[in-house]
Amino acid sequence: MPTALQHEYLRAMGINVWQDKTAEPIVADVPEVIESKAQAEPSLSNDLQALAKEVSVCEACSLAASRTQTVFGTGSSEAEWLIIGEAPGQEEDKQGKPFVGKAGQLLTSMLRALGYAREQVFIANILKCRPPNNRDPEAEEVAACANFLNKQIELIQPKVILCVGRIAAQNLLQIDTPIGKMRGNQYTHPSSEIPVLVTYHPAYLLRSPREKRKVWKDLCLAKQSFESIQ
């Protein structure tokens, strides 16, 4: 049963959780992490800072020519959860941060419903530079950028990886299964053996709010996977 604050974040996600009106109101049982307001952006470890510097001057694919700046990723260097999206969009390219704007706010609500502040996880993308007009990443761009993500995984050593969206999942897992078939399954990251779970991208949820309940199911499954390896 979700806690009171989780209800709040589920509502923020647009999910109304059924509740027995005759039952006692849901009280305090709220993890401190989601009680706290937004925390300061954690500083990266030295190794991640060095990698971010390397990424910032990368010209290994043609996206270097059109980007405003690279988007390395943000969060805790010791995060147990790594969230992986597709690539920076227009706002991310402007701000240099992943998942900003409405989709970013929805991702923050998804994480908070799970019991995590955004600053406690690490959020990154398959590509570190924005594809023009937000087109899908090309295979050669993904290949050129893959080492950076692999290095991030190696340095952070998360316990679980959550891919948001088809592009992130297919590229990370190197499969072409449709996202509807990937959901509900646990995969293994090919080089690190870390468990990988898959759900829809928050930008898709903004267009298809009816799918939010499925996402909540995916998040619960991801949490179960995470807890089973504790």
Instruction: Show contacts with ligand SF4 in window 55-94 (CB under 6 A).
Output: 55, 58-61, 63-64, 70
Instruction: Show contacts with ligand SF4 in window 43-62 (CB under 6 A).
Output: 55, 58-61
Instruction: Show contacts with ligand SF4 in window 128-157 (CB under 6 A).
Output: 128-129, 141, 144-145
Q: Provide, rounded to whole angstroms, the least separation between the CB of residue 59 and ligand SF4.
A: 6
Structure-token match 């991310």, residue found: 92
By the rule CB under 6 A, 117 interacts with ligand SF4: no
Instruction: Show contacts with ligand SF4 in window 156-215 (CB under 6 A).
Output: none
3-class secondary structure per residue, 55-103: HHCCCCCHHHHCCCCCCCCEECCCCCEEEEECCCCHHHHHHCCCCCHHH
HSE, side-chain direction, 13 A CA sphere, residue 166: 10
Cα 153 to Cα 1, 101, 170, distances in angstroms: 32, 25, 17
Identify any residues that bridge with 74 across adjacent strands, giving them in sequence order.
123
Identify any residues that bridge with 83 across adjacent strands, giving them in sequence order.
123, 162
User: Looking at 96-104, 125-133, 189-197, 214-222, which segment touches ligand SF4 (CB under 6 A)?
Assistant: 125-133
Nearer to ligand SF4, 115 or 137 (CB): 137
Residues in touch with ligand SF4 (CB under 6 A): 55, 58-61, 63-64, 70, 127-129, 141, 144-145
